[in-house]
C-alpha cells in the first residue's frame, strides 16, 4: 500500500455496509481521579471522534480492522468470546460484545441483565479515528462507545446509554485489563454540544450542564505534550491503592464519603503521602461541585480559579503532573488563559486551557515557544468544542 492510500472498509471487507456510527473522545473539564473514588466529574464530549463503518455478516464472526494498524484484520467468534484470546486493540472492539453478554453485577442488582446474543449476527467493523491516542482524550472510550451503540442498534438491544457506559467500562476493565472508571464512556455517550456531563460516579446520575463557552467567546485549548502515559501499569494503579488505603484508614467505603470538614482528622490519622492523596480527592470533588454552581450562577468566565487550583492539587498533592504539563499550564495562565490544568490520568498527556477566542493564537505561540526554549518535544495544540455524544451517522 502506498503511503497516500488510507485504508477503507471497502479495501478490506466484502460485506455490504449497513451503517456508520461515531463516538467522541472527551476532555475532563474538572474532577480528576475522582471517578474511581465514587466522586464527581465534569467531562465534555469533543469534536474529535472515532467513526466505525459496519458490514453485516451471515455468520457469527466479528472482524475488525483499523486505520491505526493498516491491513491487519482481527477476528473473534460470537460463540467463543474470551478476553484471554483477544488480540491487542481488538479487545476494545470485541470486548464490548463479550461484556454485553455478561451479567453485570457491579452495575445492577437485577439478575437478568445479561444480553442474549444467541441470535446476533456477525459484523465487519472498520475503525477510523481522529482522537489522538494516549493523550488523555480517551481514544479508548471513543472506540468502545462507537462499537457499543452500533451493536445496540444493529442487534436491536433494549438498553440505555448509562447501561452501555457500564458495558464499556466493564469491557475496558476486564477484557482490555485497564482499571479505569466510568467517566470516559459516560461523556462519550451522554455528551451534548456546548455542554458538559456532570456525573456522580456513585449513583451514576448524569446531568447535562450548559457550558456557555461559545456565547462567552471562550475556547478550550488542548495542549497535548506528547509525553506518553501508561494507565494500566503506571502510577495510576498506585494512586488508586493510596485512595483505598486512605478510605480504609478513615473508616469509609470510599473517599466520596468525606468532605473538606474531614481533612483535619485525615491529617492526624494518615501518613503524609496518603494524606495528600486523600486531600486531592476531597478538594477535587468540592471543586467539581463549585464549578457546576459557578457555571450556573456566573458563567464560564468565572471558573478559572477552580481550574488553576485543580492543577496545583494534582501537581503537589496527587503528584501526577510532569514538567511538560506544568509548563503548558503556567505559560497559558500567564499569557491570557482564564484558567488551565492538566487533564486525564496524568504522567503525560494533555493540559487544557480555557482561553478567550482572541487570545488563542497568543497562548498557542507562547506555549510553543516555552517548550522550544525548555528543549521539550513540540506539543500539539488545538481547540476542542463540546460535541454531541455517540450517534449513528446519516447515509
**Minimal distance in Å, beta carbon 230 to ligand ADP?**
8
Q: Which does 255 bind (CB under 5 to 8 A by kind): Mg ion, ligand ADP, none?
A: none
**Strand segments (E) across 191-235:** 195-200, 206-210, 218-224
Per annotation, catalytic residue among 38, 128, 184, 224 = 184
Query: d(Cα 131, Cα 135) in Å, to the nearest integer?
Result: 9
Rounded Cα gap, residues 24 and 46, in angstroms: 6
3-state SS assignment for residue 82? coil
Options 91-99, 132-140, 215-223, 359-367: segment touching Mg ion (CB under 5 A):
132-140
Q: With respect to Mg ion, which residue has the nearer C-beta, 138 or 166?
A: 138
Ranges within 82-111 binding ligand ADP (CB under 6 A): 89, 92
Residues sharing a CB contact under 8 Å with residue 110, sequence separation 6 or more, in sequence order: none
Cα–Cα nearest to 249, from 276, 265, 269, 279: 269
In the complex, what is the shortest distance from the CB of residue 138 to Mg ion, in angstroms, rounded to a whole number?
Answer: 5
Single residue of 34, 65, 90, 140 touching Mg ion by CB under 5 A: 140
Q: What does the per-residue mask of binding to ligand ADP show for 320-349, with x meaning CB under 6 A?
A: ------------------------------
> Does residue 50 interact with ligand ADP by CB under 6 A?
yes
Question: Which residue in the set 54, 97, 115, 143 belongs to the binding site for ligand ADP (CB under 6 A)?
Answer: 143
Tell me which H or E stretch contains 280.
helix 272-298
Q: Of 75-114, which residues contact Mg ion (CB under 5 A)? A: none
132 vs 246 by CB, closer to Mg ion: 132
Our finding on whether 126 is near ligand ADP (CB under 6 A) is no
Per-residue x/- track, 176-195, ligand ADP (CB under 6 A): --x-----------------
**Nearest residue relative to Mg ion (C-beta):** 140
Grid cell 477503507 is found at: 8
Going by C-beta distance under 8 Å and a sequence separation of 6 or more, which residues neighbour residue 3?
none
Cα distance between residue 356 and residue 181, in whole Å: 32
Catalytic annotation present for 184: yes
- Does 138 interact with Mg ion (rule: CB under 5 A)? yes
d(Cα 389, Cα 65) in Å, to the nearest integer? 23
Residue 352 contacts by C-beta under 8 Å, 6 or more apart in sequence?
A: 27, 29, 220, 221, 222, 223, 307, 340, 341, 342, 343
Out of ligand ADP, Mg ion, none, which partner does residue 89 contact, by CB within 5 to 8 A per kind? ligand ADP
Residues serving a catalytic function are 184
Amino acid at each position: 500500500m502506498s503511503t497516500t492510500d488510507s485504508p477503507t472498509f471497502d479495501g478490506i471487507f466484502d460485506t455490504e455496509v449497513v451503517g456508520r456510527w461515531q463516538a467522541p473522545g472527551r476532555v475532563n473539564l474538572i474532577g480528576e481521579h475522582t471517578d474511581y473514588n465514587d466522586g464527581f466529574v465534569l467531562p465534555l464530549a469533543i469534536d474529535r471522534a472515532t467513526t466505525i463503518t459496519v458490514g453485516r455478516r451471515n455468520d457469527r464472526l466479528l472482524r475488525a480492522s483499523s486505520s491505526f494498524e493498516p491491513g491487519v484484520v482481527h477476528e473473534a467468534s460470537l460463540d467463543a468470546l474470551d478476553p484471554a484470546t483477544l488480540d491487542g486493540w481488538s479487545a476494545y472492539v470485541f470486548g464490548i460484545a463479550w461484556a454485553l453478554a455478561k451479567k453485570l453485577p457491579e452495575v445492577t442488582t437485577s439478575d437478568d441483565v445479561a444480553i442474549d446474543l444467541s441470535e446476533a449476527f456477525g459484523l465487519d467493523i472498520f475503525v477510523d479515528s481522529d482522537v489522538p491516542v494516549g493523550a488523555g482524550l480517551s481514544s479508548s472510550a471513543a472506540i468502545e462507545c462507537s462499537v457499543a451503540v452500533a451493536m445496540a442498534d444493529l442487534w436491536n438491544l433494549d438498553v440505555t446509554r448509562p447501561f452501555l457506559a457500564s458495558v464499556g467500562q466493564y469491557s475496558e476493565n476486564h477484557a482490555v485489563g485497564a482499571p479505569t472508571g466510568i467517566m470516559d464512556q459516560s461523556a462519550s455517550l451522554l455528551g451534548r454540544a456546548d455542554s458538559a456531563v456532570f456525573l456522580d460516579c456513585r449513583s451514576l446520575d448524569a446531568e447535562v450542564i450548559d457550558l456557555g463557552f461559545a456565547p462567552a467567546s471562550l475556547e478550550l485549548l488542548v495542549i497535548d505534550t506528547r509525553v506518553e502515559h501508561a494507565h494500566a501499569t503506571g502510577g495510576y494503579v498506585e494512586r488508586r491503592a493510596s485512595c483505598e488505603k486512605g478510605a480504609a484508614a478513615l473508616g469509609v467505603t470510599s473517599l466520596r464519603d468525606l468532605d473538606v470538614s474531614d481533612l483535619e482528622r485525615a491529617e492526624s490519622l494518615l501518613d503524609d503521602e496518603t494524606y495528600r492523596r486523600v486531600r486531592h480527592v476531597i478538594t477535587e470533588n468540592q471543586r467539581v461541585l463549585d464549578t457546576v454552581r459557578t457555571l450556573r450562577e456566573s458563567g464560564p468566565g468565572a471558573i478559572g480559579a477552580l481550574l488553576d487550583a485543580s492543577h496545583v492539587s494534582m501537581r503537589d498533592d496527587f503528584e501526577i503532573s510532569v514538567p511538560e504539563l506544568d509548563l503548558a499550564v503556567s505559560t497559558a495562565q500567564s499569557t491570557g488563559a482564564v484558567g488551565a490544568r492538566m487533564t486525564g490520568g496524568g504522567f503525560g498527556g494533555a493540559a487544557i486551557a480555557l482561553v478567550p477566542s482572541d487570545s488563542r493564537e497568543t497562548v498557542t505561540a507562547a506555549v510553543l515557544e516555552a517548550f522550544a526554549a525548555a528543549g521539550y518535544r513540540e506539543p500539539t495544540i488545538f481547540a476542542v468544542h463540546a460535541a454531541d455524544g455517540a450517534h449513528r451517522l446519516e447515509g
